[in-house]
């Protein structure tokens, strides 16, 4: 039971049971969905930039906005900060 005798919502439990365990690129993450960074698959230059903004293995990420048209760039929240990533950069960040 939650506060004042109300039941805790079961929404998060249902969502977690239906999550796929396969990796996908950050660019494929639906708007508003949170995920966890598993790997970055590119050159040291991009990896360093992503590391500097906190995009490391185990970090929680969320796509908070996409630009129109073409959905490029994406606004991505990593930790407490929001950054713009080009779609080609987001394609290289693999999330679970």
| Residue ranges per structural domain of the chain | 22-95
The reported pLDDT for the residue numbered 4 is: 53
pLDDT band at 21 (very low <50, low <70, confident <90, very high): low
Q: What is the pLDDT of residues 31-56, one digit of tens each?
A: 999 999 999 887 677 888 888 889 98
Q: What is the pLDDT of residues 47-82, one digit of tens each?
A: 888 888 899 899 999 999 999 877 889 999 998 899
- Cβ atoms 72, 87 nearer than 8 A: yes
The residues pairing with 81 across neighbouring beta strands, listed in sequence order, are 78
Task: Decide: pTM greater than 0.75.
Answer: no
The reported pLDDT for the residue numbered 74 is: 94
Give percent of the chain above pLDDT 90: 47
Residues 6+ apart with CB under 8 A from 48: none
* CATH number for the domain running over 22-95: 2.30.30.90
């Amino acid at each position: 039971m939650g506060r004042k005798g109300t039941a805790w919502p079961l929404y998060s439990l249902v969502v977690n049971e239906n999550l796929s365990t396969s990796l996908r690129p950050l660019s494929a993450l639906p708007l508003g969905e949170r995920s966890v960074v598993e790997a970055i698959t590119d050159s040291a230059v991009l990896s360093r930039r992503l590391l500097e903004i906190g995009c490391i293995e185990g970090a929680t990420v969320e796509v908070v906005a996409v630009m129109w048209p073409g959905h490029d760039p994406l606004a991505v929240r990593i930790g407490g900060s929001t950054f713009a990533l080009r779609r080609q950069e987001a394609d290289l960040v693999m999330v679970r």
